[in-house]
Amino acid sequence: MSLKEAATAVRENAHAPYSNFKVGAAIRGASGKIYAGCNVENVAYPEGTCAEAGAIAAMVAAGETRLIEAYVIAGSPTPVTPCGGCRQKLAEFADGDVRVTLATTGGIEQVTTIADLLPGVFNAGHMAS
């Protein structure tokens, strides 16, 4: 299964009754395994989680901490773009040159990288004394 297929399939399971905006994300761990996640909203709105966060949680729960590719898809008119928090979450587990594909269910794809998504990323170096 490709990342696109995994992200497209998991998107169907999104719990998005408040925004009606279903998102699917799939990441490939360094092992080659694919991990998928969808957005999970909550009636207490700030408690909702993004698709990217779900995919990352699945990867870490499986024992992996590096991702080498990501794919995010939604039914948006232009390729869906990860929120600021998810950019930081992705950057935690990926090198800057990791390829991230942003897609629409209509077939538009935009390829970018972790570094382009989050220039000036906060990293462990900032905490060095």
What is the arrangement of strands in the sheet containing 34-38, beginning at the earlier edge strand? Answer: 34-38, 23-29, 67-74, 99-104, 109-113
User: Residue 112, exposed/middle/buried by CB under 10 A (0-12, 13-18, 19+)?
Assistant: middle
Binding mask 18-57 for ligand THU (x = CB under 6 A): -x-x-x---------------x-x------x-xxx-----
Residues 18 and 20: their CA atoms lie apart, in Å, by 6
Least distance from ligand THU to the Cβ atom of residue 123, Å? 21
Told to check if 82 binds ligand THU by CB under 6 A, we report yes
Helix (H, G, I), strand (E, B) or coil at 74: strand
Catalytic positions, please?
A: 52
- 83-122: contacts with ligand THU (CB under 6 A): 83, 86
Q: Which residues bind ligand THU (CB under 6 A)?
A: 16, 19, 21, 23, 39, 41, 48, 50-52, 72, 80, 82-83, 86
